[in-house]
Structure 1
Amino acid sequence: MRWQIEQFVFCDHKLTLINGQETQQLEPMVGELLKFFCQHHSDIITRDQLIAGVWQGRVITDNAVNRVVTKLRKVFADDAKKPKFIATYPKKGYKFIASVTAISEEHLDESVDALKAIEDNIPDNNLSNTNSPEIRSLKHISQQRRQLLIVSAILAFVMLFMTVWLGQSVWQPAEKSAEIFTQSKALTRNPGRESQPHVSPDGNYLMFTEFLSGKIHLRIKSLVDGSQISVEHGAENWVGPGDWNKTGDKLVYLTTTKDSCQYYLRDFVDMTLGEPKLIHNCPAGSFGKIIFTHDDDLLVFSEASFRGEPFTLFSLRLSTGEKRKLNQPELVLGGNSQYDLHPVENKLLLSSPDKQQWEGFYSLDLTTDQLTLLFKQDAFICCGIWDHTGERVVLLGEHPAYEFVSYDLTGEDREVVYSGNQQVSPPMRHSNGIDYLFGSGFSNQNIKLLSLDNGKSQLVAESSVDERLARFSQSGDSIIYLSVASGHEEIWFYDLEQKTTRQISHFNDARHYVDLHWSPDESFVVALSLNEIHIIDFTTGLAKVVKMPQREITGLSLKDNRTLAFSIKVGENWQVHHYDLASETLKPIDAKWQFVRYQAEQDDIIWQDKDGQYYVGEAQIMLDDEYLSTINFIERRHFNIQKVGSQFLYQEFNEGKYQLTSYDINSKERVVVSANDSSYFNRNKQSILLSEAVRSNADIFKTIASN
């Protein structure tokens, strides 16, 4: 069905929107929403009606509805405050207020024939007067629709010619754009968070990982009868991810403990596993992955020299045991841990960040070892794979990712491959050569306030989506934090005394922050992205970017209202720098210091030199403490240790949780405070802000190709 919407023509089958000479391909859920609006354009539609009609009654959040409505508004450049297309009726719903007319296919075909008769000078008494109302009506027909019909006729003739010439019943074009999927179905319904799916070459078995009860499990499920087995290596081992060989009778996988890292090979026949064969010992603390190439004797795997170091790519020849380092991009951040084998050719697609924190996509020829940069993007994206043709790249959409998209090999021609109502994990190709596999589910982390006086906790920021990076104000009577409750990552404020919440920023974009700070005078917020520092005015919510080159930045704090402190790499070493907000100048301090965490109390300032030795206070007094020197100062770009008086608070990941521990430098006493679901915490003298997962689940889904 086609619809005339003001000056636009909308095809609800192909989900295209034509305006003049421009044709826009709509995202699947956006197109379905527009179709529903067209079918009910005279009605006020409630959220429940939208969920029933557009999402077929699936359980979704208000945030998911808001996000798709916002995207549709952007398609029409519609202002929510002065709408011309979608009007919001508070506490009632939405109404599509634009002019909508269904285009009759039969009438349109007759009209095109009539216009063609005019152009071909075919005598027709009814068409002799070009100023008649009938002819004027015909001239109102969309020029784009007419061109589409002509092109369709030409294509039909070409298809007929090719059928006769080649003796084929159907002509298949040599190239086509990416398949667009509007539906999916669940392949797993386990209680944990499932991800990293791989379907066997015959399509009968699904291998995936499940994070459950603080441990990673490798599962294999029969897609024929639903039976399921686990790949076990003892109670202490985390197992997975894994991969199938090209015939589906072998699998390789990773197993790890706190003190070991190993890759194994096993036979697989009809849900029965052979004995495990150890093929490689990787460094303890390395958590990589391993895949087969098109040659079952040659594997590719990644490993880090120790925990927290970037990953390096290697190949392993099973018959000889030869391990060889592959040609690869320079190691930055996590290094080269994301890679995918081409569907038919002997090459890899690598996803790797550069020094500016742009994500680069590279092709590595495994035969010649030639590395080629395809394209880069300045975005918080992840994990590119080849599409089924090997001529495009498929990857997650921007944060928070509810879709995956594809690009040509130059990074152009963006197309949405799939869009859902829950966040998705990186996709994988299905062995059927058409569909994609992915994990999708929900995660809901709230922020709790833990009292150090009585040990009681209370929720201070909660919704159906994640809240994170909470930080106290200088006075301690309020907090700021990040939430995606509006559909995008925004900064929010919570008054601890009045118990009121309000949104500070209105970025309405795909930005992603990894650290958050409040100025001592509480007039502005400092936020760290992947490669920039942003200053957000607390009153207006407006943001500006600190003027310095894009690069990896870590260990951010504020020395005072005028001075930022953070670490950037000079050569191969981290070095503390100060940035003056007034003069907009960046200066390194003494090269001895790699990190510093400034605090309001000068005695609580923590320094770390290039040898990992800790110092405290403005006077930089060295701490001679063997235990403290074993604790990581930095975790995921932000500080992992905070000092208050004689106590040092820090976190360590243990049994699937971040274990918050208090260590007294005088008594040497260690006390476990709590187990948390995030590496981020913030303490003042009386309380601690922590993250708590209320619920978290993800299942494996398969796209459903349209027939």
Structure 2
Amino acid sequence: MSHITKGFEFGEFYLDTVERMLMRNGKPVSITPKSYQLLAFLLENAGTTLEKDTIMEAVWRDSFVEDGNLSFTIRLIRIALDDDAREPRYIETISRRGYRFIAAVTVIETEPLTKEPDDASAELAETGKSELKPRTLSFPVIVFRSVLLLIVIAALLGIWYANERSAQVDAFPQNDRFGWSAISTNGTTSHVLLSPDGKNVIYVNGSGGRQSIWLRQLGSENNVEIIPPSEYRYGGLAFSPDGNFIYFTRFPLSDGPQLDIYRVSIFGGIPKKIVEGTQGWISVSPKGDTISFVRCLYEDSNYCAIWVADSEGNDQRMLTSRPRPIRIIDNAISPDGEKVVFAAGQSNTNSNDFGLVEVDIRTGTERIATEEKFFNIRKVVWLAGQNGYLISASRVPVTNFRIWRIDNSTGDVQPMTDIRENFSSVSVDRSGNAIAATQTKYDFQIRLFDPSKTDIGPKVLADATSMAIANNGTIYFSSGMSGNNEIWTIQPDGTALKQLTSDKADDFRPIVSHNGRTVYFSSNRSGESHVWRINSDGSGLVKITDNESGFPVFASDDGEWVYFHHGRTRSLWRAHVAGIKEEPVIDVRSGRFTISPDGRFAAFPVTDAADRSLNIVELATKKPIRRFALTSDESRVSDLDWDPDGKSLIYILTNSLSGQSVVWRQPVAGGEPEQVRDLGTDEIGESSGLVYAPNGSFFCIIQGRWKHDAVVSLGLDPKP
């Protein structure tokens, strides 16, 4: 008699080996075919340490792949199971050996097709006697009765929960999944906002380098253009309480990043400017008589502030401010019109520093809304009844921006969306029955260029956020393709992809020592971004900095020092590789630093209103050596590097109006810069955009774009 395995039960999960799917509490969980195959193999051998070679032979038998594929697939499974590699519930990493499934597993088997009579049955048959025996239920019957029981329990719990919630005013459901419907699929839609009655959505649409404002009627799905396309960039949006007017912020590309506030009818017309010089985040009170907004003077004592004005922009006054480097991101007026909640913090150290604060509009008194902190907060909205907020925020070690619910009375925080989803803006209607949001996707790749073949396009290698090139040509890069940023390597021809680090935190900004044996990188695995090192094979993890946070830019040839871009001051520092000393090198605030191949000079851009230039400083004496003026006021330096021979600076200028990026070469000895390559209008990577190979045979650009699309979820149950 033989049984056939039908599935595995562990915790709240069930792996169905017949339908080849993973279930969690009876609901399907998305999982890749290879992840299913690997998980099934781990479950079949639960409690047993499986060597990497054994797993590779079983799961990738007919393929030639690197160990990185195994760790990558393990990462995907852990995400699906909400497992933590450091404190695992299901999959344990056995250092330098393999993996072991550690949770209790119940094997579900089918009934055998035929049964052989046992001795007792044979004896009964011979004597003609009968005996009552307990009936074994078939698996489908067990499942049916279990589901029926769960339905009854769920119904009883639902009745109890509804009664508990009936006395509460807040109607927004605490669901962890939404049935999203797409408002757009073009990847250029942003700043989506629901009308107070939940019948309309307004959003900013981009096309051909221009932006416009549209209104979508959710009942008919008609789209109406309110503001035609123009060379403006838009910030925040807000509805008037009656839904007949919209407020928006924008700035012309030719004038810089300060945004003005306008008001216009939803039927179109000429917008009226009511406030100048804001950062774009606005809110309108329930009565429509007050607007709040963020204004940043970028002074040491008043870096950013919350302001209020009447509906016509008069009687402007500052409610509260924050010193450098604390930024204020978004703000929202409470349903009773008496308070403003705002997000404030700094993310230079890649730590969880952003929080929510309420300020009384009349008295200016502040109250901390929650003790919980986040890496960054993009949007905050009040919930009906003033019982809480929704925010879109990211939290170290996870880089994606999730939608969170915060209870106003307790400060408790609850994630509402999946860890793999990424949201920027979020809004709800007055009743709490609908939610709209903007989903975002980072779509940037390493593009390899041959400087001798200007007529041939680049070779695309891999998704990446930052990169470095070793002396032997190996490309070290950070990428979120495994769920969060890890350090990887790849060859210039696109082969030998390999993962070096594996942690729930972000590992990024790699650089390589001169001898190629050590990789330095930044990681927030300790709570904020510090410099770490590993051997080039991924072993020997060591933390370098303890007091000062930052991002490595250069390792000295003697192996004694690693230079890093300071996270808070944005100046150049260095740390001894033994972790015994950290000290400033160049006390200049800049967005980029690069050090010459011989380690003698540092170059950096200055792009403030009074000085737009490339500068070279001798490290030993700290004396300025060269200064090259940037002639275009409309362009910014997206990144820069040294030519391998140290005789020129290679840099990218991006035009703020057109988005066009061009690579230039500036001889250190002087003279006019030379255009190297036109890169088009795709965006340059924020962390690291340009690296030249030490042998000069190629250079790499990280380029792509952020994709933004609007989604909406309607008909949410106000009392789940």
Question: How has the CA–CA distance of structure 1 residues 658 and 566 changed in structure 2, closer, same or farther, with 3 Å as cutoff?
Answer: farther
Contact 1:192 1:210 in 2 (8 A): no
Query: TM-score if structure 2 supplies the norm length?
Result: 0.69
Q: 2:265 aligns with which of 249, 265, 268?
A: 268
When normalised by structure 1's length, the TM-score is 0.70
Q: CA 1:699 to 1:512, structure 2 compared with 1: closer, same or farther past 3 Å? A: farther
Alignment deviations for residues 153-190 of structure 1 (CA, whole Å, 9 cap, x no partner) = 89979999x9xxxxxxx954578996114332324125
Question: What is the rounded CA distance, in whole Å, between the counterparts of 1:320 and 1:386 in structure 2?
Answer: 22
Aligned to 2:626: 623
Q: CA deviation at 1:77?
A: 0.8
Check the 8 A contact 1:658/1:678 in 2, yes or no.
no
559 and 310 in structure 1: CA distance in 2 versus 1, 3 angstrom threshold = farther
Whether the 8 Å CA contact 1:516–1:527 is kept in 2: the answer is: yes
What's the secondary structure of 1:232's corresponding residue?
A: strand
The partner residue of 2:282 within 263, 285, 290 is 290
What is the RMSD of the two structures over their aligned residues, measured on CA atoms? 4.8
Q: Secondary structure at the match of 2:320?
A: coil
Alignment of 1:77-88 (within 5 A): 77-79=89-91, 84=101
**Offset, 1:645:** 1.7
Tell me, yes or no, if the aligned pair for 1:577 and 1:589 is still in contact at 8 Å: yes
Q: 1:578 aligns with which of 545, 565, 574?
A: 574
Partner Cα separation in structure 1 for residue 37 and residue 539 of structure 2: 31
CA contact (8 A) 1:266 1:274 kept: no
Q: What is the identity, as a one-letter code, of the residue corresponding to 1:683?
A: Y
Matches within 5 A, 1:553-572: 553=550, 556-560=553-557, 561-568=559-566
Tell me if the contact between 1:524 and 1:535 (Cα under 8 Å) persists in the aligned partners: no
> Which residue is equivalent to 1:437?
436
Q: Is the 8 A contact 2:640 2:650 kept in 1?
A: no
Does the CA-based 8 Å contact 1:209-1:241 persist in structure 2? no
Give the aligned partner of residue 18 of structure 1.
none
Instruction: Tell me the distance in 2 between the aligned counterparts of 1:582 and 1:262.
Output: 47
CA-CA distance at 1:483 after TM superposition = 1.6
Taking a change above 3 Å as real, the CA distance of residues 516 and 311 of structure 1, as seen in their structure-2 partners, is farther
Q: How many Å separate the matches in 1 of 2:575 and 2:175?
A: 47
Q: How many Å separate the matches in 2 of 1:430 and 1:277?
A: 25
The CA deviation string for residues 348-400 of structure 1, in whole angstroms up to 9 with x for no partner, is: 22222148651222112222212223345565342352452533443335434
Give the equivalent residue in structure 1 for 2:663.
661
> Is the contact made by 2:635 and 2:655 (CA closer than 8 Å) also made in structure 1?
no
Task: Go from structure 1 to structure 2 and tell me whether the alpha carbon gap of 1:524 and 1:428 turns closer, same or farther (over 3 Å shift).
Answer: farther
1:105-254 maps to which residues of 2 (within 5 A)? 171-172=166-167, 179-232=174-227, 235-254=230-249
* Contact 2:563 2:574 survives alignment (8 Å): yes
Of residues 468, 490, 493, the one that matches 2:486 is 490
The answer to whether the 8 Å contact 1:565/1:577 transfers is: yes
C-alpha separation in 1, matches of 2:443 and 2:570: 34
Give yes or no for the alignment of 1:323 onto 2:300: no
Structure-2 separation of matches of 1:68 and 1:312: 44
* SS of structure 1 residue aligned to 2:273: strand
Equivalent residue pairs, number? 596
> Counterparts of 1:157 and 1:184 in 2: how far apart (Å)?
25
Letter in 2 for 1:527: F
Residue aligning to 1:468: 465
- 1:545 lines up with 2:536 in the alignment: no
Match of 1:479 among 469, 475, 478: 475
Do residues 346 (structure 1) and 338 (structure 2) align? yes
Structure 2 partner of 1:17: none
Please tell me whether residue 459 in structure 1 is matched to residue 459 in structure 2.
yes
Consecutive unaligned residues of structure 2, counting only runs of 5 or more, are 1-6, 15-20, 41-69, 93-97, 111-133, 136-148
Aligned equivalent of 1:139: none
- 2:12–2:25: 8 Å Cα contact kept in structure 1? no
Q: 1:687 corresponds to which residue?
A: 698
Query: How far apart are residue 450 of structure 1 and its match?
Result: 0.9
Counterpart residue number, 2:325: 332
Distance (Å, rounded) in 2 between the aligned partners of 1:336 and 1:593 = 21
Report the CA distance shift for 1:589/1:467 in structure 2 as closer, same or farther (over 3 A): closer
The answer (yes or no) to whether the contact 1:341–1:349 under 8 Å persists in 2 is yes
Q: Structure 1 counterpart of 2:479, which letter?
A: S
Matches within 5 A, 1:359-438: 359-375=354-370, 379-383=374-378, 385-386=380-381, 388-389=383-384, 390-394=386-390, 395-398=392-395, 399-401=398-400, 403-409=402-408, 413-419=412-418, 422-438=421-437
Aligned-pair CA distance for 1:524: 2.7
Structure 1 residues 539-587: Cα deviation after superposition (integer angstroms, max 9, x where no partner): 2355443343365x468443443212235499xx765432112252112
Summarize deviations over 1:291-313 as a string: whole Å, max 9, x none.
21234232122244489x96543
- Aligned 8 A contact 1:219 1:230 in 2: yes
1:230, CA displacement in angstroms?
3.0
Report the Cα distance in structure 1 between the residues aligned to 2:586 and 2:166, rounded to whole angstroms: 70
Secondary structure in 1 matching 2:417: strand
Q: Cα gap change, 1:421/1:579 in structure 2, threshold over 3 Å: closer, same or farther? A: closer
Name stretches of at least 5 consecutive residues in structure 1 with no aligned partner. 12-29, 50-61, 87-95, 103-132, 135-145, 163-169
> What's the CA shift string for 1:39-72, capped at 9, x where partnerless?
x9xxx9679x9xxxxxxxxxxxx99996465341
Q: Is residue 35 from structure 1 mapped to residue 26 from structure 2 by the alignment? A: yes
CA contact (8 A) 1:557 1:598 kept: yes
Q: CA deviation at 1:632?
A: 9.1
Q: Give the 3-state SS of the residue equivalent to 1:70 in structure 2.
A: helix
Question: In the superposition, relative to structure 1, how do residues 393 and 156 fare at CA in structure 2: closer, same or farther (>3 Å)?
Answer: closer
Question: Which one-letter code corresponds to 1:598 in the other structure?
Answer: I
Return the letter of the residue paired with 1:469: S
Identity fraction in percent: 10
Change (3 A) 1:569 1:195: closer
Q: 1:510 and 1:98, CA in 2 relative to 1: closer, same or farther beyond 3 A?
A: farther
Shift of 1:32: 5.5
Deviation of the 1:417 alpha carbon: 1.4
Residue 678 of structure 1, aligned match among 684, 689, 696: 684
| CA drift at 1:223 | 1.5
Q: Which amino acid aligns with 1:348?
A: V
Q: Which amino acid aligns with 2:598?
A: E
Match of 2:711 among 692, 700, 705: 700
Q: Please report how far the alpha carbon of residue 604 of structure 1 lies from its aligned counterpart in structure 2 after TM superposition.
A: 5.6
Deviations 1:258-310 (A, max 9, x none): 233553433425xx11321121232xxx7523321234232122244489x96
Q: Which residue of 2 aligns with 1:110?
A: none
Paired with 2:343 and 2:674, the residues of 1 have a C-alpha distance of: 41
Deviation at 1:419, TM superposition (A): 2.5
**What is the CA distance between 1:315 and its match in structure 2?**
1.9
The amino acid that maps onto 1:215 is R
Query: Offset at 1:656?
Result: 6.1
2:117 counterpart residue number:
none
Equivalent residue letter for 1:448: R
Deviation at 1:652, TM superposition (A): 2.3
Q: Separation in 2 of the partners of 1:442 and 1:569? A: 25
Aligned equivalent of 1:521: 515
Matched letter for residue 516 of structure 1: P
SS of residue in 1 equivalent to 2:322: coil
Q: 1:77 corresponds to which letter in structure 2?
A: R
Mapped to 1, the partners of 2:158 and 2:282 lie a distance apart of 45
Tell me the CA shift for residue 7 of structure 1. 8.6
Partner of 2:654: 652
Is 1:449 the counterpart of 2:448? The answer is yes
- Larger mean CA deviation between 604-613 and 385-394 belongs to 604-613
Provide the C-alpha distance between the structure 2 equivalents of 1:5 and 1:174, rounded to a whole number of angstroms. 43
CA contact (8 A) 2:358 2:367 kept: yes
249 and 173 in structure 1: CA distance in 2 versus 1, 3 angstrom threshold: closer
